[in-house]
Structure formats: C-alpha cells, structure tokens
Amino acid sequence: MNLFKHAIPLLAASLLLISCGGEVESARLASESRASEKVAQGLYNSAVAAEKAGKLGKATNLYEKIVLRHPLCPVAPESAFRWGKLLERDREPIEAFDAYDAILTRYPASPHYAEAMKRQEVIATQVAEGQITKSLIGFKTPIELKKSAELLSKVRQNAPRAPSAEKAQYTIGRIYQSRGSGTTDTIRAISAFRELTRDFPDSKYAPDAQYRIGEILLAESRKGNQDSANLDRAKRAFEDVLIRYPDSRQAKLARAQIQKLASGDIQRSYEIAEFYRKKDQIPSALFYYRDAVNRSKPGPLRTNAQAWIKKLSAQ
C-alpha cells in the first residue's frame, strides 16, 4: 500500500513533464514555421519584384528556392506555378514539367492546378512529337525515348480518368512503335497499346491501338524468315479489331490485312508442297497441295496444285 501511495504522485509528475514537453515542442515548431513563412514571403516579394523588373533568371531562382526550401509555406503553390511559367519562357520545358508536377502532387487546392495539368500534357506531347529537342554541340537532337515515355506516364498518373490519360497512353505506344528499335521497344509498344485497350476500351484511340498491335506483329514476322507464330498473333489482333470495333475505320483496314494473310497462307502451303515434292516426300507434298487447293480460289496456283495432286496420286 505504501508503494502504491508513492507511485501515484510520481505518475502524475511524469505525465505533467510529458505534457509540458509536448507543449514546448509544439511551441518550438510553431515558431520555426512562422520564421519559415516570413523568410518565404520575403523571397517571394523579391522574386515578384525581379520578375517585374525583367530579371527573369533571378526570379526563377528565387521561386525555385521557395518551393524546395519552404514547400509548406502559403506562397509555395504560387511560386511553383510562376517557376514553371518562367522555365517555359526560358525554353527549359523539361524543368518546367517538373515544376508543374510540384503543383499537381503537393498543392491540389491551387487555383493553377488545371492549367499546370494542361501544360504538362502539352510539354509531354511536344517532346513525343519531336517539337522539343535538346542541344548537343550545336545540333538539335530528339529527347531520349525513355524520357519521353516517362513524361507521358506522369501525365496519365496525374489525371488517370481524364481524356489526357487516354491520349498519353496511346502516344507512349506510338512513339515506341515509330521511334523505337529492337525487341524491347517492340514489346513496350505492344504493351502500351494493350494497356490502352484494356483500361480505356471505349476510347477514341482504342481501335487504332488494337490495329497497331497487329501491324507491329506483322512487321516482326517479316524480319528475316517468316515467323508463323507472329503471323498468327497478328491475325488474332486484326480479328479483335473486327470483333471489338466493327464500325471503326480500322475495321476495314483489319479486314484487308486478314485477307492478305489468308492469301499468304495459301502461298506458303503451295511452297511447302513444292519443297516436299522436290525432296520426293510424296505424302507430305500431297497434304500441302490439297491444303492449297482447299483454301484457294480458282486461279493459276490452284490449277497447278490440282495438276500435281493428280500426277503424284497416280504414282
């Protein structure tokens, strides 16, 4: 009982110390916050004055300093927007993109939120289309493909339900298809287009994205010797256009591609039959000649195949 009696005052004293410590810490943080706001406001006033005086480089540096060193201060959102605008004016679009990103990720209540989103979309699109380049020893060269795709991905992430997201995803696939080289870029292009048709099946870009998948696979099959696996995948991609987007312009193009692929299949059957015939492998030759006949329309190829079937069957 005596121990319990002494414990109560000790516990109360401990709680009092904790409470007092918390109040002191809160007071310290509040004081630091007010000091930071005062410094940020001073920097902001100087930046605005420099901008009005035409000292844009100085203004840009001051706005950047506010955003990076005082991100929680009231003037930070406006500083981020002005920073981005000045960077664009100074032809530093990639840096401006990052400045606008600060508004979208940190300051969603900013009155400039919608405009910052639009400016990001414009910059990313211009980079993808080659309108924005970088200087390299006096020469203008396109921005790296990977960087371009990163900007477009950020546009989609910042507004996943906006029309800009659909366009950004479509453009990612398009730049990998047109500017890419090698198997990795081909895979990325197909993946980007598939992601579009999966996430935005009703998008105005979806029919073309699905058609482009078939185009890419068809092009891959023509590299070196014919790849029947890619040809089959291309045919299925074109068939998906007909099934999912039957009234689209791409449906007509897909139908024409399927017909060409069918003609190619017949030609390949005939060529395989010729190969086996010359090797004197008659049963295999007959199989492929018959396949060519069954799948072809009246014409020279079908007539020749029928003639060889008659001749080989008589042996």
**Angle, nearest 10°, between helix axes 163-179 and 206-221?**
20
Question: pTM for the full model?
Answer: 0.72
The answer to whether position 49 is within a domain reads yes
Domain around 85? 36-111
- Residue 192 neighbours by CB under 8 Å, 6+ apart: 169, 170, 172, 173, 176
CA gap 296, 298 in Å, rounded: 7
User: Which residue carries 């795709």 as its tokens?
Assistant: 149
Residue 140 in 3-state DSSP? strand
Total of domains in the chain = 1
Could you tell me which residues are beta bridge partners of residue 142? Answer: 133
The answer to whether position 41 is within a domain reads yes
User: Which residue carries 């010729």 as its tokens?
Assistant: 274
The answer to whether position 190 is within a domain reads no
104: CATH: 1.25.40.10
The answer to whether position 79 is within a domain reads yes
CA gap 91, 262 in Å, rounded: 52
**Angle, nearest 10°, between helix axes 228-244 and 206-221?**
160
The answer to whether position 106 is within a domain reads yes
The answer to whether position 233 is within a domain reads no
Per-residue pLDDT of the chain (315 residues; tens, 9 = 90+): 444 455 455 545 554 444 555 665 555 555 556 777 889 999 999 999 999 999 999 999 999 999 999 999 999 999 999 999 999 998 899 999 999 999 999 999 999 999 999 999 999 999 998 888 765 444 556 678 889 999 999 999 998 988 999 999 999 999 999 988 888 999 999 999 999 999 999 999 999 999 999 999 988 877 754 556 788 899 999 999 999 999 999 999 999 999 888 777 788 788 888 888 998 898 888 888 888 888 788 888 889 989 999 988 987
Contact yes or no for 263/256 (Cβ under 8 A): no
Residue 74: phi and psi, rounded to 5, are -55, -30
Structure tokens at 27: 């007071």
